[in-house]
A = this chain, B = another copy of it.
Amino acid sequence: MRFAKVAVLGVGLIGGSFALALKAARLAGHVVGIGRGAANLRLALEQGVIDSIGADAAGADLVLLAAPVAQYPALFAALAPVLKPGALVTDAGSTKRDVIGAARAALGDKLAQFVPAHPIAGAERSGAAASSAELFRGRRVVLTPLAENPAGAVQAIEEVWQACGARVTRMQAAEHDAVLAAVSHLPHLLAYALVHEVAARENSAQLFGFAAGGFRDFTRIASSHPEMWRDICVANRDRLPEEPDRYAEKLQALRPLVAAGDGAALEKLFAEARAARNRWLAGEYE
């Protein structure tokens, strides 16, 4: 076993799947689960996702933070005094600048043990019950290493995520937060906004009654965890508003084409969008 004791702080879909994947890879000995929801932790224990329920990460050789990011300052503060020398810490936060700021504020001379990561493997399901050892298979994990990290620590955390089946890349934290704002945070905002807008109309029951597969897929991410997405939006609040602004400009440019019934221009735009999406689906940007 590479890590005799692994502590998972937040045993939701991501934390639980990390535990299962490390066990499947025979990299984890004992996994202790730590979190707010007693019922969820008991379920994780019953299902063999974790081996025990703990109060802190004392004695752990590897620690994963996988809670909504607003909890990180408190989690790092609790971790700092108990973190073993030589132990490694990684995380699953969907934003990285705020997570790194929280680590810097709390970890002191143990900062170098923390290698920030973001597994891009969310789902609208949540909770330990949705965990799967295969969740990270083929998915991207972005590491945003700190200047303080020894190369060996970054390498070790890279291997941990690779053992979960992930494709690992490295990026600056600011770049990460900008890229994810465009392709993840924005679509979530847009989907929540559409459902909220439709639900607020007088004839919302009729509208939902005739909504079909296109609406279902478009809005799937509007069933995502509200607290998690609250924290992501708050953490990325200096960067995120650019995205709806840019998107609103695009809609504004589209509007006269729709109002005029400019079929040629609309078809061109639709065809270009479809072609771009199909190139993406074909793996051109992997």
Contact = CB atoms under 8 A, between A and B. Distances in A.
Contact of A211 (B231, B248, B280): B280
**How extensive is the interface on chain A, given as a class?**
35 or more
Contacts of A248: 248, 251-252
A130 interface: no
A237 interface: yes
In this complex, the member of A179, A211, A248, A255 whose beta carbon has the largest number of chain B beta carbons within 10 angstroms is A211
5 contacts: A179-B203, A186-B194, A197-B246, A199-B272, A241-B259
A220 B214 contact: yes
A262 to B, nearest CB: 8
A205 interface: yes
A151 interface: no
Number of chain copies forming the complex: 2
In this complex, the member of A219, A223, A270 whose beta carbon has the largest number of chain B beta carbons within 10 angstroms is A270
Interface of A: 70, 120-123, 139-140, 142, 179-180, 182-184, 186-199, 201, 203-224, 226-227, 229-231, 233-234, 237, 240-241, 244-248, 250-252, 254-255, 258-261, 263, 266-267, 269-274, 276-281, 284-286
Contacts of A251: 189-190, 193, 244, 247-248
Contacts of A276: 195-196, 198-199, 204, 208
